[in-house]
Amino acid sequence: MGKQSTLILLMCAFLAGCSTAQVTLRKDKEGAIFPNKIPLGALRVMQVLNVEKVDVLKDPIRYEQFLRSAMGFISPYWNARDESQSLSRELSATMMPDSIIESGYLVVGRVYCCGGVQETVNRQYAFSPVSLPVNKDAFVEVRFGHNKPGEINMITRTVNDCNWVPRDPRLWVRIPYCNWMKGDEWMEVSSMITSSNHAWIKAPGNR
C-alpha cells in the first residue's frame, strides 16, 4: 500500500471517530448543516451497508461487529457503548409501542459512494419495521426526521432501478439516482462550495 493510500485510510478512521457526536436516528446529518438545500424531514435514498435486529444495541461487542462489517474498519477513537446507548435512547423516546421497536431493524447506510471521507463521515442510520425487511446492499427510501425527540429516521420502502451517478467507478462522492425520481417530483440539490450537500431529495411539502 502506498503512502497516499495509507494516509487516506488514516484520515477516514480519524474522522469516523470524530464524527460519533453526530450519529443519530433523528435527522439527516447534512440537513442540519444545509437546511436550505436538504431540509430536515425530506425523503432521500441510501444504500444499506448493514442491517441487524434492534437488540444489537444492547450488546456493545455485537454493535462494534455490526459497524465494522458495514464500514470495513472502526476508529480507535470510536466508542461502541456510547454510540449504541445514544441510539437506544432515541428509539426509546419514540411513540412507537415497545413491541414494534423490539421486533424492528437497525439499518446503517451510505449516501455517497464509493470510498473517501464523505462515505464514512456521512453514514446514516434509520429504523425499519419488521414488516419491511431490508437486505444489505439494497437501495432504500428514508424519511428523515426533524431532529425532534420522539421522531426517528424511517425506511419507507425498498426501491429499484437505482445506481450511483456519475457512473464512473473512479470517482468518489457519487450519489444515488433512481430513474423514476424526476417523474415523482424529486429534485437534485447541490452546492458549488462543497462536494457534500448534493443529493436527490423529495422535500416534505411534495409528499
Domain spans of the chain, in order of start: 3-206
Three-class DSSP labels, 19-60: HHHHCCCCECHHHHHCCCCCCCCCEEEEEEEEEEEHHHHHCH
Instruction: In whole angstroms, give the CA distance from residue 199 to residue 112.
Output: 9
- Per residue of the chain (207 residues), give pLDDT as tens: 444 443 344 344 444 444 444 689 999 988 988 888 999 999 999 999 999 999 999 999 999 999 999 988 788 888 999 999 999 999 999 999 999 999 999 999 999 999 888 887 889 999 999 999 999 999 999 999 999 999 999 999 999 999 999 999 889 899 999 999 999 999 999 876 666 789 999 998 776
Terminal-residue alpha carbon distance, the chain: 48
Phi then psi dihedrals of residue 50, to 5 deg = -165, 155
- What is the reported pLDDT for 67? 94
Entry pTM: 0.86
Kindly report whether the peptide bond that precedes residue 133 is cis, defined as omega within 30 degrees of 0. no
The residue with cell 456510547 is 82
Q: Quick one: cell of 177? A: 439516482
Kindly report whether the peptide bond that precedes residue 114 is cis, defined as omega within 30 degrees of 0. yes
Q: What residues contact residue 125 under an 8 Å CB cut-off, 6+ apart?
A: 23, 24, 25, 87, 106, 107, 108, 109, 153
112 contacts 119 by C-beta, under 8 angstroms: yes
Cα angle 139, 168, 7 (rounded to 5 degrees) comes to: 90
Tell me how far CA of residue 136 lies from CA of 129, 166, 180, in angstroms.
15, 22, 22
- What is the reported pLDDT for 14? 41
Q: What residues contact residue 171 under an 8 Å CB cut-off, 6+ apart?
A: none
Q: What residues contact residue 200 under an 8 Å CB cut-off, 6+ apart?
A: 44, 45, 175, 176, 177, 178, 181, 186, 187, 188, 189
